Structure 1
Amino acid sequence: MGIDTHARTHTYAIINTHTGSREACQTFPVSTPGMNRTVAWIQRNTQGQCIAAVEGTRSYWATITHALTEHQVAVVEAKPPRRKDQAGRGKSDTIDATTAAMSLLPKDITKLLQPRDEGARAALSIISASRARIDVHRTANRNALSALLRTYDLGMDARKPLSVRQIKQVSRWREHEADTIDQKFARDEAKFLATSIMAGDQMLKENSRAMSELDEQLAPELQQVFGLGPVTTAWILMVYSHHGRVHSEAAFAALAGVAPLQASSGNHERHRLNRHGDRQLNKALDVVARTRMGHDEATKRYVEKRTADGLSPKEIKRIFKRYIARSIYRQLQVIMA
């Protein structure tokens, strides 16, 4: 069965695997009654094992994925058709659903893409996105507060970045009788911004605590790796997803964008950083590399040795990030097997 999904309706096409003919095609609304009608329709029009191909199993597709899984209908990811394959065939919901179903016929079902695991991993993705939003708003409030204190004379030295102590002090401000009307409103706004910043700080602490608990649930002891914290561990686990998704440590390095690329010319032989791959995973490895290069004695000695060999700081970090990717992948293979 192929499913073409939209915000309001989903279109379903059932293909007979013996003949390749389309047995039935129907559109149902995306609602609880619509899902119930969908499941009943599928049961009436199928015999034996049924497998559903959906283009993506998140967002619009998440509801039907859960409903079908609960009724023992296997759900797999269907890759969207290439544009050149659609040439001369047109496009409609019925065509797209039928194409999704037909795409499974020549394939080994054991090698099809399975939906990502739910539960703790999905929760980790949610709070990671939440953390990014909180951090953006907190940074915007800090910048606005700094600009306000530099524009109006409110008795606070804001020539340097504001400290935590200064922000707390601003949040406790009261009205000053000597303030002009513009200073009065500026003081009120500064107090509001400072209070928002402190609330953001508290929310980030709670977020980190929740992340740490989920990290430990998914990959026990991974946070013990030197340089990894709750946030960087979460980034790695979200990309790694589950055991079997990444088939080798070389593939993991390529996914992280730390697999070296040739940049040789003439007699000069060298490699350069890879600008591709998952940037969040790359950022996590970069944080680990910088932390170890700044605070780990064994790593400092390694940096000194490679510097004496004539390598630049960028080249040393490139090599070191590749080593970190290999080390973390092997740990994930053991922890999440």
Structure 2
Amino acid sequence: MSSGPGRRTGSYGAGLAGHLAAEGIEVTEVNRPDRAARRRSGKTDAVDAGAAARAVLGGHATSTPKSKNGPVEDLRVLKVVKDSAVRNRTQAINQLKALLVSAPSQLHESLAGLSNPKLFVACAALDPHANAVHQALHVLAHRIVRLTAEATTLTRRITAITQAHNPQLMELTGVGPDSAAIRLTAAGDNHERLRDEASFAALRGVSPVERSSGKSQRRRLRPCPMW
């Protein structure tokens, strides 16, 4: 079974790919099709399916898809949620500080010079029934506190999974829980599919491909096949 454009084994086709793999059926990830060829032949499900089948039968598609049933998949989903919490927290902080700029001078002066933690505590303590500005700052401060707690909890969980699954990775200089999770997610639970340095380079999109035209010869980086 091959999975190509529109039915990626990492997203829409993940459930089917996992079921087939569990039944012992070989699943192959088809690389992104050549853009020029796709423009010439058009884009339909039938055309894409035919192109995927020819790529597999011709030996051009050889990538084994990532499995999604182990600790690395747990890291991926937790990292997605943590990143969302961090982004939303940053947005809430920016909104709170923007509101303070135009807040009444007495309120602005009472909160000026506070560090972020003290500022959030002070805003969270404001009476939300006093006026709209107090309510907005109160809501944002509580949102920031909640999202901070979410991110902290998820970081602890990510750290625990990483240390249990690959403790050596966390011992590397400059590698924390987030960067470790990113690296493990790139390799996947079934990292044995990366048979050599060349396959890992292809996964990361850094394998050179020769291109020449007339007397000009150059190399470019091959796009990551596990897109």
State the TM-score bracket (shorter-chain normalisation).
0.7 to 0.9
Match among 104, 110, 117 for residue 67 of structure 2 = 117
Q: How far is 1:66 from its partner? A: 2.2
1:68 touches 1:75 (CA, 8 Å); kept in 2? yes
1:68 touches 1:74 (CA, 8 Å); kept in 2? yes
Match among 186, 189, 194 for residue 239 of structure 1 = 186
TM-score, normalised to structure 1's length?
0.52
Match among 132, 152, 162 for residue 205 of structure 1 = 152
Q: 1:244 to 1:155 in 2, by over 3 A?
A: same
Partner of 1:143: 94
Q: How far is 1:94 from its partner? A: 2.8
TM-score, normalised to structure 2's length?
0.74
Matched, 1:132 2:83: yes
Higher relative contact order (CA 8 A, sep 6+): 2
Q: How far is 1:169 from its partner? A: 2.2
| Structure 1 gap ranges (5+) | 1-51, 258-275, 279-337
* Greater C-alpha Rg: 1
1:163-208 deviation per Cα after TM superposition (whole angstroms, max 9, x unaligned): 20221122122268xx6xxxx1100110000000000110010110
Match among 58, 62, 75 for residue 27 of structure 2 = 75
| Structure 2 gap ranges (5+) | 207-221
Query: 2:40 and 2:174 mapped to 1: Cα distance?
Result: 54
Q: How far is 1:105 from its partner? A: 2.1
Query: 2:109 and 2:152 mapped to 1: Cα distance?
Result: 27
Partner of 2:59: 107
Query: 2:98 and 2:151 mapped to 1: Cα distance?
Result: 23
Q: How far is 1:88 from its partner? A: 6.0
Query: 1:213 and 1:246 mapped to 2: Cα distance?
Result: 28
Matches within 5 A, 1:1-337: 52-55=1-4, 56-86=8-38, 89=41, 91-107=43-59, 112-118=62-68, 119-153=70-104, 154=107, 157-160=110-113, 162-174=115-127, 184-241=131-188, 242-243=191-192, 245=194, 247-248=196-197, 255=204
Q: CA RMSD in A?
A: 3.5
Partner of 2:215: none
2:75 touches 2:161 (CA, 8 Å); kept in 1? yes
Q: 1:92 to 1:196 in 2, by over 3 A?
A: closer
Q: Which amino acid aligns with 2:27?
A: V
Q: Secondary structure at the match of 2:57?
A: coil
1:206-232 deviation per Cα after TM superposition (whole angstroms, max 9, x unaligned): 110111022123312321223322112
Q: Secondary structure at the match of 1:225?
A: coil
